[in-house]
């Protein structure tokens, strides 16, 4: 099992605050890795470091062995790491189809014209939005905006997909659909890092979990293992319940 993405001693400081402290982990091909931990533990910051949204203070990140630590976000995206945002970000002046084409035209695999449009249509079908390409993004429901963002990310055929709380804010029915959608991606053999709070989703989707607390990795293993770990329970619930 070779690592597609590996982090070694990755650290992020904001002045005196250490938001991410010497993170080490690998993601293997076709693996779904859950990055979990209490609020403010540095999960989203870690994702921002991998995707190049924030510069790394020290440490090294490598994609298939080649370093991407100091690259700007657009180069990281082109090399094949694509992400969604914690607060959904769509392109408001464009149609649903054009939103998805943005990924197909400028992502890891770059296409143009009819080919890009065809890829975008396929991705819309895959996320359950077939036939809605002409709609304005303002007309969509909340879960559909999330689907569009996911389709845009997938359209560039990335090697690694980063999902930043993609399931947050969904109602129970939508959550079921959302989990089914990510499971379908997993069954396709995509490599995914998932920052998530929804425990059921983590149990059913993740091959492995990395648990963070106060910027540091405190546990790593299968979901069942880490969720039974006393230190993880302490991090989530405090000392009395451990």
Contact 119, 99 (CB under 8 A): no
Q: How far apart, in whole angstroms, are the C-alpha atoms of residue 52 and residue 77?
A: 9
Other Cβ atoms closer than 10 A to 15: 5
Q: Give the separation between CA 126 and CA 120, rounded to whole angstroms.
A: 10
152 is a site residue for another protein (CB under 8 A): yes
Please give the Cα distance from 179 to 196 (Å, whole number): 11
197 alpha-carbon distance from chain centroid: 13
Tell me the per-residue interface mask from 13 to 52 with another protein, x by CB under 8 A, - otherwise.
--------------------------------------xx
The C-alpha atoms of residue 213 and residue 43 are separated, in whole angstroms, by 9
Q: Which of 8, 30, 108, 159 binds another protein (CB under 8 A)?
A: 108
91 binds another protein (CB under 8 A): yes
CB of 134 to another protein, least distance (A): 15
| Nearest CB to another protein, comparing residues 144 and 164 | 164
Cα–Cα distance for residue pair 201/74, rounded to 1 Å? 30
Candidate list 105, 160, 201, 210; residue touching another protein; CB under 8 A: 105
- Give the integer Cα–Cα distance in Å for 105 and 225: 41
Residue number, 35 or 82, with CB nearest to another protein: 82
| Residues between 110 and 139 with contacts to another protein, criterion CB under 8 A | 110, 112
Residue 74 touching another protein (CB under 8 A): yes
- 12-20, 96-104, 117-125, 212-220 -> range binding another protein (CB under 8 A): 96-104
The region of 87-95, 186-194, 208-216, 227-235 touching another protein under the rule CB under 8 A is 87-95
Rounded to an integer, what distance in angstroms lies between the CA atom of residue 141 and that of residue 137? 9
Residue of 2, 39, 66, 93 that binds another protein (CB under 8 A): 93
Give dist(CA 214, CA 233) in Å, integer. 14
Chain positions contacting another protein, by CB under 8 A:
51-53, 72-74, 77-78, 82-83, 85, 89-94, 101-103, 105-108, 110, 112, 152, 156
């Amino acid at each position: 099992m070779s690592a597609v993405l590996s982090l070694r001693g990755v650290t992020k400081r904001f002045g005196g605050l250490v938001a991410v402290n010497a993170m080490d982990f690998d993601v293997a091909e076709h693996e779904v890795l859950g990055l979990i931990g209490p609020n403010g533990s540095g999960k989203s910051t870690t994702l921002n470091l991998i995707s190049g949204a924030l510069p790394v203070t020290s440490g090294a990140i490598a994609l298939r062995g080649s370093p991407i630590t100091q690259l700007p976000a657009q180069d990281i995206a082109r090399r094949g790491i694509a992400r969604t945002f914690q607060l959904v970000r769509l392109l408001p002046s464009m149609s649903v189809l054009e939103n998805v084409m943005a990924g197909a035209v400028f992502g890891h695999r770059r296409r143009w014209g009819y080919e890009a449009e065809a890829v975008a249509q396929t991705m819309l079908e895959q996320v359950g939005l077939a036939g809605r390409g002409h709609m304005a993004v303002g007309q969509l429901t909340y879960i559909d905006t999330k689907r569009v963002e996911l389709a845009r990310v997938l359209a560039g055929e990335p090697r690694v997909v980063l999902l930043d709380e993609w399931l947050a804010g969904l109602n129970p029915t939508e959550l079921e659909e959302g989990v089914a959608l990510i499971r379908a991606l997993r069954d396709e053999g995509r490599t995914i890092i998932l920052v998530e709070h929804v425990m059921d989703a983590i149990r059913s989707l993740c091959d492995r979990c990395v648990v963070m607390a106060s910027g540091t990795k405190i546990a790593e293993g299968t979901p069942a293992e880490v969720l039974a770990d006393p230190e993880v329970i302490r991090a989530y619930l405090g000392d009395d319940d451990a």
